[in-house]
Amino acid sequence: MTGASSRPRVGFLGVGWIGLNRMNALAASGHAEIAAVADPNPDMVTAALIEAPDATPMTSLEDLLAFDLDGIVVATPSALHADQAVAALEAGLAVFCQKPLGRSEAEARRVTDAARSADRLLGVDLSYRHTRGMEEVRRLIQSNALGRIFAADLTFHNAYGPDKPWFYDRKLAGGGCLMDLGTHLVDLALWTLGFPEVEEVSGRLYAKAQTAGPNDVEDYATVRMLLETGAEVILACSWKLNAGQDADISATFYGENGAARFRNINGSFYDFQAEHLVGTERRSLVEPPDLWGGRAIVEWGEQLGVGNKFDPQIEKHLRAMQVLDHVYRAHAR
């Protein structure tokens, strides 16, 4: 930053739909200046400059690293995340990365290690944590209003599936729906419950209604986690499922004195409600609308404005990656 009162200068690497969405959210927050946009697709850069006309257009990470920036937002295919994030961190820049940080725990750990070594801020776009509904569910659980949590069910069924070819290439994506959607579910379960240790993990992967082969990209997955608290967590996620609606997304936590449920409304990817359940009665905690999509990057931008220092909270993302790695390794045997 050029002065104590200046906003951090941030560059965006990848300005497709998600990159553009996060760029607009950060710009609207006022926490950072959008100083540069880079994408190998010139049409994407042109579209981004309509939203951020003062940004300098670029084509590559190398361009961004040579520019006067305080941080970089990585919104590229998953195979590129680890190398690009590490390069930016080692250059002294803060990084905000789309999930996952890497295609495996080892790749994600390499990024967090680089952030710690460089003492630079690292964030990851675990956006569902920032929905008002999940924040209320977590608050209810952490306040012990539900008593001891003994079970949880989480689902994320996307009736369409991704529209980019690289998602269906295991080497590029690291996995299928479990890597894409299950990352959010595992993180939500652990984050909501205060990141307890995971004692047991098992899972099943399917591709086109058959048990997935070692090199297949799964389109349906289930995971079971047994936590040190004794709680059992069951997850299911899919692409292109016959769901009867665009998406089926939910997270329900069962306690000895009640339950809390987060779920999408009418198949929406964006509208969620949260409820407190006791017996046959339910009480609304949160109803839409809720503009939650950009809150993770806004929080990162606000933190960057205070100081570009390593935040050890990012290392908890590795817990989710460990669970996913376990399922993929077991399935490959």
φ/ψ (deg, to 5) at 74: -100, 115
- Residue 208: partners with Cβ closer than 8 Å, 6 or more residues away: 219
How many whole angstroms from its chain centre is CA 245? Answer: 23
Task: Indicate the residue type of 79.
Answer: A
Largest CA distance in the chain: 61
Domains and CATH numbers, the chain: 9-126+293-311 (3.40.50.720), 132-290 (3.30.360.10)
Interatomic CA distance for residues 14 and 23, integer angstroms = 10
Interatomic CA distance for residues 184 and 78, integer angstroms = 15
Cβ–Cβ contacts within 10 Å for residue 87, how many?
Answer: 18
φ/ψ (deg, to 5) at 50: -65, -40
pLDDT in tens, the chain (333 residues): 544 448 999 999 999 999 999 999 999 999 999 999 999 999 999 999 999 999 999 999 999 999 999 999 999 999 999 999 999 999 999 999 999 999 999 999 999 999 999 999 999 999 999 999 999 999 999 999 999 999 999 999 999 999 999 999 999 999 999 999 999 999 999 999 999 999 999 999 999 999 999 889 999 999 999 999 999 999 999 999 999 999 999 999 999 999 999 999 999 999 999 999 999 999 999 999 999 999 999 999 999 999 999 999 999 999 999 999 999 999 887
Instruction: Tell me if 75 sits within 8 A of 14, measured CB to CB.
Output: yes
State the sign of the Cα–Cα–Cα–Cα dihedral 195, 137, 146, 224: negative
Give residue for tokens 């950009």.
Answer: 294
Give residue for tokens 């049409």.
Answer: 43
**Which tokens sit at 34?**
């959008």
Instruction: Tell me if 33 sits within 8 A of 10, measured CB to CB.
Output: yes
